[in-house]
């Protein structure tokens, strides 16, 4: 389990970094246009590495179909929702609310994978929910409906982890899962771009494109690390560890973003949420 935890923490760090870097990209380009750069960039890198990494002799059609189905909404739809949430709420609040993914992942793992929650899991879940409530109770800053953006992303991310775990039991290749998933996500963001063709679109700015390419690499590393962790550990162990990325977003945001301030409310909500996630991890560790 130690390897799974280590990989999950690496994924959390990469997700947190990507969330903060997104803020730099959003200064030059819109969220949807940024996704059209970040996701294909990562997919191309995965394809370039595939001949040297994947053992195609182990190919399993059922697993590939699962990876592709997940890829249609993760990371594509999750990326779009996260970018919009980042733009509306800022990286720390968006990341913290996105950290509720393990709640959805745990519920799905109970129903589909037969994993059984413990009393500690229930207590930790309450701590996470309390942290989210504290973070979300700021009506003067933005409309409450914006909270649905990171929460929807969290729901999709949680469900994706359970589905990927199912696929990995058939074909235990984290790289194949990432490659196929990102390839399907490219189709999703291209389809989204075509649907937006009749509406006003932002121009492609070179600086924004560079930032979003870096965001894509960060998210790609995070997804690959997450899938590698899922190949080695349970969903109820990996999902909470990965969800600790708001802590990295909080710290990196305070260091890199001048406009990002750590308020008492923000600190209290994030601390509660991280404490709940830590309890989940400790409760599942051997």
* Domain layout of the chain by residue ranges: 2-284
Give the C-alpha separation, 275 to 272, whole Å.
5
Q: What is the pLDDT, as a whole number, of residue 203? A: 63
Tell me the pLDDT of the chain averaged across its residues.
82
Percent of the chain beyond pLDDT 70?
A: 85
From CA 67, how far away is CA 70, in angstroms rounded? 5
Task: Give one DSSP letter per residue of 66-123, joined into a string.
Answer: HHHHHHTTTTHHHHHHHHHHHHHH-HHHHHHHHTTHHHHHHHHHHHHH-----HHHHH
Of 115, 63, 66, 102, nearest to 234 (Cα)?
A: 115
Q: Which residue has the higher pLDDT, 13 or 83?
A: 13
User: Is residue 138 packed enough to be buried (19+ CB in 10 Å), middle (13-18) or exposed (0-12)?
Assistant: middle
pLDDT for position 256? 74
**pLDDT tens by residue, 222-274:** 999 999 999 998 888 788 788 777 778 777 777 776 655 667 777 777 778 77
Helix pair 245-256, 2-25: axis angle to 10 deg: 40
Residue 48: what pLDDT? Answer: 96
Q: Which of 15, 16, 34, 17 is nearest to 25 (CA)?
A: 34
């Amino acid at each position: 389990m130690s390897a799974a935890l280590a990989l999950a923490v690496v994924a959390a760090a990469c997700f947190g970094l990507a969330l903060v870097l997104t803020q730099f990209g959003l200064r030059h380009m819109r969220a949807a246009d940024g996704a059209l750069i970040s996701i294909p960039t990562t997919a191309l890198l995965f394809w370039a590495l595939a001949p040297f990494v994947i053992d195609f002799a182990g190919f399993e059609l059922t697993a590939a179909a699962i990876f592709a189905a997940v890829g249609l909404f993760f990371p594509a739809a999750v990326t779009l929702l996260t970018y919009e949430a980042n733009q509306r709420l800022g990286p720390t609040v968006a990341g913290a609310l996105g950290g509720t993914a393990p709640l959805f992942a745990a519920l799905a793992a109970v129903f589909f994978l037969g994993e059984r929650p413990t009393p500690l899991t229930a207590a930790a879940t309450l701590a996470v929910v309390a942290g989210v409530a504290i973070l979300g109770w700021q009506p003067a800053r933005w409309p409450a409906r914006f909270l649905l953006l990171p929460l929807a992303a969290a729901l999709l991310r949680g469900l994706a982890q359970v589905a990927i775990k199912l696929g990995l039991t058939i074909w235990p290749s984290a790289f194949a899962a990432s490659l196929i998933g990102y390839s399907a996500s490219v189709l999703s963001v291209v389809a989204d771009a075509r649907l937006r063709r009749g509406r006003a679109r932002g121009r492609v700015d070179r600086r924004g494109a560079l930032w979003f390419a870096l965001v894509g690499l960060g998210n790609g590393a995070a997804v690959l690390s997450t899938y590698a962790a899922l190949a080695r550990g349970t969903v109820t162990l990996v999902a909470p560890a990965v969800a600790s990325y708001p802590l990295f977003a909080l710290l990196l945001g305070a260091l890199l973003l001048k406009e990002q301030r750590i308020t008492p409310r923000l600190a209290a909500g994030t601390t509660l949420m991280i404490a709940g996630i830590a309890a989940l991890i400790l409760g599942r560790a051997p």
